Amino acid sequence: MNRSGVLAFIFSVLALMGIAWAVFPASGVRMAGRTWRFLSREADLERLGEDVPDLEAALRSISGADSASLSGCREFIRSNPARIYFPDGDWRWLDGVFEAFETAARDSTTLRISYYGDSQIEMDRMSANLRTALQERFGGSGTGIFPAMSNVPSASVFHSAEGNIVHYTMYGDSTTRKAPHRRYGLMAQLCEVHGSAAVTFRAPMQRSTADNVRNFSKVSVLLAPKAGFGIRARLQVDTFRLAPQAVPAGESGVKLLSWNLPRPARKGTLRFEGQAEIYGIMLDDAAGGIAVDNMPLRGSSGTEFTAIDKASIGDALRIGGTRLLILQFGGNSMPYLRSDKRIADYMDQLRRQLDYFQAVAPEVKILFIGPSDMCRDSDGRILSYKRLPEVVDSLRNLALSHGDAYWDIFSIMGGSGSMKQWVAHNPPLAGQDYIHFTPAGADIMGRKLADAILLYYDLYRLRRQLGESAAEEYLRSE
């Protein structure tokens, strides 16, 4: 074929492709039991009309709040996407928690933040940055609570168990083992010891590991003896052993066994003799401060807590010293929330969970965090879930009407369509599933959550310095 023939062939192919582009429907053509798709003028025009969020503008909008002045605080609480929504707009909602923060730093006590969530917080994502920021300000060290055995890895503690010990969890798929009772405790999972068992643990030492979780100086165990039996626990950390502790037969209910170490340690082993339910092991700071407990529930929509025996979780929250509860859910339900009724039913389920926590721990404040932007494949196009904005609004209204606070990741990201920008960012801030943050993206969100809480703490201090009435008058002024 000569040169002119080659050129004619190429132009013919391009012309046919252009005709196909002009007439091919965006939804494709069904043929031979399959849907065939091609580049479509209709789809391309729709894409041109899409309102694509500006990621860099979104990140700038949540940065640089001036918490040292009332004017900076006023600007943040009025319009910044990273602000916390409070019932009736009451910025004093966290005052009791902030008083407890200061007490923990001053009196060598430990204040706990119990952070529940779905797979967005696995591997200590988001919670790690929150922990670091709060411990830098108010003291504390250690990773917080972890289960004696687990089917979900952690980035902040490595642990293993051996002996006569069985792991039960109330959530998960058919491969998880369910307990023959409802006493799942604080972590929605437990381990039962029947005879002798040992749990070995160590702090991580990777280059990326934050200094505050590289060691610990206090070890505690939340447990309950089985009826008619006692439990004895011995602790060895690094190269020294501590005096054993025991709960004698005949006692019941959730107990806390604690050891203050003579110096910070990086690894240890707990050995148990007897029969007991182990609800969690805590690595904290003997000098007190803040503990942030990362408790992921993979695959959960946040609707399972009412299935836990109230005493086993309520006593654990009280004994452990929890004052703030963070619930981060919604993403796993999003694919099924296709109608008004399904959204309403999901809100009813979540309201029952909020009622439950209010009943078992009335002194604990609840901060609800909704889902991020999420995308799915729709006829070859990556689109945000259509009803996601409605679900976010419903979650915020639910939390506020219940007397709880709300933090809006969806708006912080930039709203509908923003997930595509987070995935395309260099480095990527979200994964190719268009659902989960990468570690870099989770770090941003964890820092923004910490920054928001600390801004309200700085405002709390400013209000005390300037006087409540004068500060309120200014904050409410135009």
Which pLDDT score is estimated for 47? 47
Assess contact for 223 and 191: CB atoms under 8 A.
no
* Dihedral sign from CA coordinates of 187, 188, 189, 195: positive
* Domain residue ranges of the chain, discontinuous segments joined by +: 49-140+288-478, 145-286
Which pLDDT score is estimated for 46? 47
Which pLDDT score is estimated for 36? 56
Query: What would the two tokens of residue 193 be?
Result: 């010891």
Q: Which CATH class is domain 49-140+288-478?
A: alpha beta
Strand blocks (E) in 78-124: 84-85, 110-117
Which pLDDT score is estimated for 48? 39
Annotate 273-338 with DSSP letters as a single string: EEEEEEEEEEEE-TT-EEEEEEEE-TT--S--GGGS-HHHHHHHHHHHTEEEEEEE--TTTGGG--
Domains 49-140+288-478 and 145-286 belong to one CATH topology: no
Residue 478, amino acid: E
Assess contact for 475 and 74: CB atoms under 8 A.
yes
Separation in Å, CA 348 to CA 117, 241, 314, 332: 19, 50, 22, 16
Assess contact for 207 and 199: CB atoms under 8 A.
no
Annotate 67-81 with DSSP letters as a single string: TTSHHHHHHHHHH-T
Rounded distance between C-alpha atoms, residue 10 and residue 12, angstroms: 5
Would you give per-residue pLDDT tens digits along the chain (478 residues)? Answer: 566 766 666 667 666 666 655 555 655 656 665 655 555 544 444 443 455 567 777 677 666 677 778 999 999 999 999 999 999 999 999 999 999 999 997 898 999 999 999 999 999 999 999 999 999 999 999 999 999 998 887 888 999 999 999 999 998 777 789 999 999 999 999 999 999 999 999 999 887 788 899 999 999 999 999 999 999 999 999 888 999 999 999 999 999 999 999 999 999 999 999 999 999 999 999 999 999 999 999 999 999 999 999 999 999 999 999 999 999 999 999 999 999 999 999 999 999 999 999 999 999 999 999 999 999 988 788 999 999 999 999 999 999 999 999 999 999 999 999 999 999 999 999 999 999 999 999 999 999 999 999 999 999 999 999 999 999 999 999 7
Q: What angle do CA 186, 192, 193 make, to 5 degrees?
A: 130
Which three-class secondary structure state does DSSP give residue 435? coil
Which pLDDT score is estimated for 29? 59
Rounded distance between C-alpha atoms, residue 369 and residue 350, angstroms: 12
Specify the CATH number of the domain 145-286.
2.60.120
Rounded distance between C-alpha atoms, residue 476 and residue 478, angstroms: 7
Which pLDDT score is estimated for 294? 97
